[in-house]
């Protein structure tokens, strides 16, 4: 038992040290003065309360209005989302269009994004979500990142909110974004976020868009990342720029948080990237063994001083990795949220691992699983 705990702890520490080193090596995207034309695509369903905010956010961009268009794709909304967009078109200083899905057999985010790419008149696509917000230089930061050899750019996403539950989500997501950033930079991709993503239209079409993963409603971002990096090596970068950070609200209720994480983790079993699948299994086993070690210490089977030392080591290496990522994205001190996170996260990993296999979830009023 002690040998197994020690082995997995060593792997855990080396893993996070490598991530911490990898994050510090990602180059900052410098201002280039590029003036690229963009099509900004926002897939929406039942976003009447959010759509006006993000459109005004785009209207305030410090980027020539003639160099970008905004396409809102309505995925059979059951509220006033489409009507609000139509009302805003004449009043906003934006090249704004509304596209509405019309075929009931083709609904969901991937079909909405596909329709948006098809409708886009510019070669470079940016995607975000209706409940997000960002700074006035968001588009310009992407113009600095995209060059002739770049087919995809993954941007940073930060969780914002008040209270300890929001802070826990913030540090957890900072870790996920940092993990994704490092693996993209090392040409061994794991994840990205469609809330802040850019890609070339030609690359999207060359890999067939989402045709090989339409069976799962989630994963529009990650499956596209894997396919583009496989088809076009050395042409994807992480956008290391504070001006590129996109913010999204923290969940206020545990139920909605679990529902979202179930949706995210449910796509792992469909992932064709064996390295990602093995990493997910090892991650699950790592926390399972850690909880087993704690149980062993409580029962007197394992030395409690040894387990305490293991727990402290795991916390410090996690803090070493997550803190600079969280600071980069505007987060506050990571120490106390990560301390609490270290206590409850193993249970979260184990629960979500099982729930992703056997559980179901709802998304935008639709039930899956």
DSSP 130: T
Q: What is the pLDDT of residue 279?
A: 72
From CA 163, how far away is CA 171, in angstroms rounded?
Answer: 13
Q: How many CB atoms lie within 10 A of CB 366?
A: 13
From CA 181, how far away is CA 128, in angstroms rounded?
Answer: 18
Q: How many CB atoms lie within 10 A of CB 211?
A: 10
Write out the two tokens for 308.
């305490």
Bridge partners of 294, per DSSP, are: none
From CA 336, how far away is CA 316, in angstroms rounded?
Answer: 12
Per the CB < 8 A criterion, the answer to whether 203 and 151 are in contact is: yes
- The alpha carbon of residue 212 and the mean position of all alpha carbons in its chain are separated, in whole angstroms, by 20
Q: Where are the alpha helices (DSSP H) in 195-269?
A: 201-206, 220-231, 254-265
From CA 319, how far away is CA 317, in angstroms rounded?
Answer: 5
- The alpha carbon of residue 214 and the mean position of all alpha carbons in its chain are separated, in whole angstroms, by 19
Q: What is the pLDDT of residue 353?
A: 64
**189 burial level (CB within 10 Å; 0-12, 13-18, 19+):** buried
- Residue 281 DSSP SS3: helix
Q: How many CB atoms lie within 10 A of CB 177?
A: 28
Written as tens digits, the pLDDT of the chain (369 aa) is: 678 888 888 888 999 999 999 999 999 988 888 899 999 999 999 999 999 999 999 999 999 999 999 999 999 999 999 999 999 999 999 999 999 999 999 999 999 999 999 999 999 999 999 999 999 999 999 999 998 799 999 999 999 999 999 999 999 999 999 999 999 999 999 899 999 999 999 999 999 999 988 877 788 899 999 999 999 999 999 999 999 999 999 998 888 888 787 777 766 656 556 666 677 677 778 877 887 888 888 888 888 888 888 888 988 999 999 999 999 999 877 788 888 877 777 676 667 666 666 666 677 777 766
Query: Does residue 127 come out as left (phi exceeding 0), alpha (psi in the -120 to 50 range) or beta?
Result: beta
Q: What is the pLDDT of residue 357?
A: 61
> What would the 3-class secondary structure string for 241-259 be?
CHHHCEEEECCCCHHHHHH
- The alpha carbon of residue 313 and the mean position of all alpha carbons in its chain are separated, in whole angstroms, by 27
pTM for the model: 0.90
Long-range CB contacts for residues 31-36, cutoff 8 Å, separation at least 24? 31/144, 32/143, 32/144, 32/147, 34/143, 34/144, 34/146, 34/147, 35/64, 35/67, 35/143, 36/67, 36/124, 36/142, 36/143, 36/146
From CA 41, how far away is CA 29, in angstroms rounded?
Answer: 23
Q: Say which residue the tokens 């709802």 belong to.
A: 362
Query: Does residue 234 come out as left (phi exceeding 0), alpha (psi in the -120 to 50 range) or beta?
Result: left
């Amino acid at each position: 038992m002690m040998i197994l705990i020690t082995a997995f702890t060593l792997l855990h520490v080396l893993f996070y040290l490598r991530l911490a080193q990898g994050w510090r090596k990602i180059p900052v995207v410098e201002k280039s003065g590029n003036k690229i034309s963009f099509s900004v695509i926002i897939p929406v369903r039942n976003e009447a309360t959010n759509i006006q905010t993000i459109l005004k956010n785009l209207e305030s961009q410090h980027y020539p209005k003639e160099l970008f268009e905004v396409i809102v794709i309505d995925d059979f909304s059951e509220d006033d989302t489409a009507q609000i967009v139509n009302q805003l078109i004449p009043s906003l200083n934006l090249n704004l269009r509304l596209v509405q899905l019309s075929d009931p057999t083709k609904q969901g985010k991937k079909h909405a994004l596909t329709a948006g790419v098809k409708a886009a008149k510019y070669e470079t696509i940016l995607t975000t979500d209706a409940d997000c917000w960002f700074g006035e230089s968001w588009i310009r930061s992407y113009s600095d990142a995209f060059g002739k050899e770049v087919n995809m750019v993954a941007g940073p996403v930060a969780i914002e909110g008040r209270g300890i539950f929001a802070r826990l989500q913030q540090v957890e997501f900072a870790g996920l974004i940092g993990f994704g950033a490092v693996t993209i930079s090392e040409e061994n991709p794991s994840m990205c976020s469609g809330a802040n993503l850019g890609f070339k239209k030609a690359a999207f079409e060359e890999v067939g868009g989402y045709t090989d993963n339409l069976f799962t409603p989630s994963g529009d971002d990650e499956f596209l990342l894997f396919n583009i990096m496989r088809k076009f090596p050395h042409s994807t970068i992480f956008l290391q720029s504070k001006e590129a950070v996109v913010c999204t609200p923290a969940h206020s209720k545990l139920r909605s948080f679990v529902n979202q994480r179930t949706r995210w983790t449910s796509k792992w079993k469909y992932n064709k990237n064996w390295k990602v699948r093995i990493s997910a299994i090892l991650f699950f086993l790592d926390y399972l063994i850690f909880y087993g070690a704690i149980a062993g210490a409580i029962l007197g089977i394992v030395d409690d001083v040894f387990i305490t030392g293991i727990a402290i080591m795991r916390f410090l290496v996690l803090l070493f990795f997550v803190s600079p990522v969280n600071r980069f994205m505007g987060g506050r001190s990571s120490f106390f949220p990560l301390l609490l996170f270290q206590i409850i996260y193993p249970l979260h990993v184990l629960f979500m691992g099982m729930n992703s296999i056997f559980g179901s979830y709802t998304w935008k009023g639709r039930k899956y699983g």
